[in-house]
Structure 1
Amino acid sequence: MASATVRRISECFVKPDLPPDAKQPIYFTPFELIYLNANYSQKGLLFAKPSPPESHHFSITTFLEDLRRSLSATLTHFYPLAARLATRKEENPPSYVIYIDPENSPGVKFAHATVDITVSDILTSTDVTELLDGIFIGGSVNHLIADGTSFWHFMAAWSEIFRSKQQDEYSISRPPIFKKWVLEGSDPVINLPFTHHNQFIDRPDQQAMFQERFFHFSSAIVSRLKAKANAESNTHKISSLQAVSALLWRCITRVRGLTRESETVCKLVISNRCRLNPPLSDDYFGNPIQSVSGTATVEDLMTRGLGWAALQLHEAVANHDDTAVKKWVESWFRSPVVYKRSQLFHPNVVHFGSSPRFDMYGCEFGLGKAVAARSGYMNKADGKMTMYPGQEGGGSMDVEVCLLPEYMMDLECDEEFIIALKSN
């Protein structure tokens, strides 16, 4: 793996046919502007190449052309993905307006690369890339433009068009909704009150070295953790996701060796779509996300059990309702802020992103069901967890854990973690 060299075979730009109403600027909401400094979201699916006798009829050239054609058709529906960010500087008062410009863009870069590794190498190791026996179809999108819900909505539509028998119609079952949510009484065009871009642009610095590992939670393991968390907290409200997150929060805090009086935080990235009143559709395209947090001293987290930890997360999610969301937006308008990268991660934080509820494995491109979902190196740091559905479904989960090497070694030996991952 270390010696494998990626060879870029070709690249081109794919442009959509813009509909008549798709040439106006698209402005951002406070939910999105705070993430101006976040790195691109990088996600993708790993597929096995056809095996004999089907492989005799498989042509990578034809496959790539079908991908490119269907991508162009999909971008006609999801045209902001083919756009570029633009900035307008205002003089009176001094401010910046950042928006999406659908017309000023060469399109989406479509790259084909190869690397001499196998599907097994990817699965056992911690862009459209062709492997010796597989194909990885991945995408990279600015986090201002789309969250995980919108990214996998796009991937599902691309898959739908790729597999469509009516290739000249290019219709999709779930058209995206681009009309932005706006707080009642506020201006949809937001002026960031800064006099110089250095006041809100955070240049990337050298990231600390960390290790990545995938841990699989079967449906039986997830069910057992959920039942344990609910029984310990005498409730039935704790979800599977909250139970698994609480386990990792406890185990990672333990291996970090923090003092017992230290404060530790577990952050969950959640969508505001269903929390607003009236709610937004899952087809709403954008990045309407926020983080909610469970906070505890190390002593409380270690002594009060899994159920108590999971209940802190449940209450943080339950309290994030329409009132809380709108209160935050009103506060942001009074004092606009753009997060710096240093504010997104902290040594005492365990941070969960993505979701096992995304239908990643429903996205197929004529190669059968993907064998794995993976992410790129962006937006990762010590303590960052990325959640995926398990490939076999049934409520199973995969969690990509990023930790400093010494913490990862201890996590793999942590007694609570080992017991939890036992299949029986």
Structure 2
Amino acid sequence: MEQQIVSIEKAVENDEVTSRPLLEVQVTELVDGLFIACSISHCVVDGTSFWHFINSWAEISRGLQAVSKLPILERWFPSDVDPPIRFPSHMKQKKDFDGLTFSSSPLPAERVFHFTKQNIAQLKAKANTELNMNNNKITISSLQALISHIWRCIIGNQVHDPEAEVSLIFPVGVRQRIMEPPLGANYFGNAIRACFIRMEAKELVEGGVGKVGLEINKAIGLQTQDGLKRCYGDWIKHLDFGNRREMRDNNTVIIGSSPKFDIYGNDFGWGQPVAARCGPMIYSDGIIMLFEGAEEGSIDVDVCIGYDILEAKAKDSQFMDVVSL
């Protein structure tokens, strides 16, 4: 009997590390395959390191004598700060975190939408055509165009006040993009920075996939080494978890994971994985996880959002026209 594997990624809340394991793994044997579930703390790793761990585990399971990419375990720390960072006693009390991470809305629904390589190329071409009409010389990437399309469709089906402020939060890796000297692709830890974009709902929905993609492109371009060091330095001087409040905003969409992570190469000796899924996450009213698709160049978009919004998206021809079921 051919056995297959499904991997699942879930982040444990940072403030729970004193009472919950940093890593939890559960293997469930199915009639025709296996399901491997992993829960890991974002305090320890980001998505790059998480999938590095899974990739290495799969190689070891297949009987390889050594993993192909050894992790870099030397920790990076701001040069002008002496570790460890000590938190004031009042910040260690659980009450300071209560209510910051969970939405007041009912538990969200979840659905996976599949975008083929051709669908994504179509979105990219549309975004850049719109920009070229305005003599803009910046090129929008495939991923930026896809995120733009998803954000616009979610807000269009969710926010009815055209003047309401809406936000997008997405991660940017800093290993080699920002750090100088680079940390190295195999740096094992948490090396991402959150990007924030705020717009009026009307501007987002009516602006077109090109204009919104341009805002995403600009936000990424603003991530520099000096800005990163200043951000970390300021946070250490003024320890604060207040930015998590924004994740509870009903008008905020959060992007997680990346289609660049190797999922379908994780053969544990039982065959190629059939799918990757993310457990329900309730940080906000809109969590979008991006995974590598089974076909080359495709992307699976795991949407965790309110049921009514998810139903509206499924009936939205603008969104579904570039989705393959």
Same fold by TM-score greater than 0.5: yes
Matched ranges for 1:319-358 at <5 A: 319-339=222-242, 342-358=245-261
Residue 296 (1) aligns with residue 199 (2) = yes
Distance, in Å, in 1 between the alignment partners of 2:253 and 2:305 is 10
- Gaps in structure 1 of 5+ consecutive residues: 1-48, 56-62, 64-83, 88-104, 111-126
Distance, in Å, in 2 between the alignment partners of 1:302 and 1:356 is 25
Alpha-carbon deviations, 1:154-174, whole Å to 9, x = none?
1111111111254xxxx2221
Residue 192 (1) aligns with residue 91 (2) = no
Corresponding residue to 2:47 among 145, 148, 158: 148
Q: Is the 8 A contact 2:152 2:204 kept in 1?
A: yes
Aligned to 2:272: 369
- Alpha-carbon distance, 1:380 to partner: 5.0
User: Could you say if the C-alpha distance between residues 418 and 151 of structure 1 is closer, same or farther in structure 2, counting changes exceeding 3 Å?
Assistant: same
Aligned to 1:389: 292
Number of matched pairs: 306
Residue 208 (1) aligns with residue 110 (2) = no
Residue 287 (1) aligns with residue 190 (2) = yes
- Gaps in structure 2 of 5+ consecutive residues: 6-15
Aligned to 1:224: 122
Q: Determine helix, strand or coil for the equivalent of 1:295.
A: strand
Higher deviation after alignment, 261-270 or 214-223: 261-270
User: TM-score, with normalisation over the residues of structure 2?
Assistant: 0.86
Distance, in Å, in 2 between the alignment partners of 1:189 and 1:228 is 49
- Alpha-carbon distance, 1:422 to partner: 6.2
Matched ranges for 1:381-420 at <5 A: 381-393=284-296, 395-420=297-322
Residue 157 (1) aligns with residue 56 (2) = yes
Distance, in Å, in 1 between the alignment partners of 2:179 and 2:51 is 21
Aligned to 1:244: 146
Q: Determine helix, strand or coil for the equivalent of 2:199.
A: strand
Aligned to 1:128: 27
User: Could you say if the C-alpha distance between residues 368 and 383 of structure 1 is closer, same or farther in structure 2, counting changes exceeding 3 Å?
Assistant: same
Q: Determine helix, strand or coil for the equivalent of 1:296.
A: strand
Relative CO higher for 1 or 2, CA cutoff 8 Å, sep ≥ 6? 2
Higher Cα Rg: structure 1 or 2?
1
Alpha-carbon deviations, 1:354-398, whole Å to 9, x = none?
0001011111111221110112234554211011010112x2100
Q: Is the 8 A contact 2:108 2:282 kept in 1?
A: no
Q: Is the 8 A contact 1:208 1:381 kept in 2?
A: no
- Alpha-carbon distance, 1:237 to partner: 2.5
Q: Is the 8 A contact 1:295 1:312 kept in 2?
A: no
Corresponding residue to 2:217 among 314, 334, 353: 314
User: TM-score, with normalisation over the residues of structure 1?
Assistant: 0.67
Residue type of the alignment partner of 1:354: S
Distance, in Å, in 1 between the alignment partners of 2:267 and 2:219 is 35
Aligned to 1:172: 67
User: Could you say if the C-alpha distance between residues 320 and 109 of structure 1 is closer, same or farther in structure 2, counting changes exceeding 3 Å?
Assistant: closer
Q: Could you say what the CA RMSD is over the residues aligned between the two structures, in angstroms?
A: 2.7
Matched ranges for 1:267-282 at <5 A: 267-274=169-176, 275-282=178-185
Q: Indicate the percent of aligned positions where both proteins have the same amino acid.
A: 34
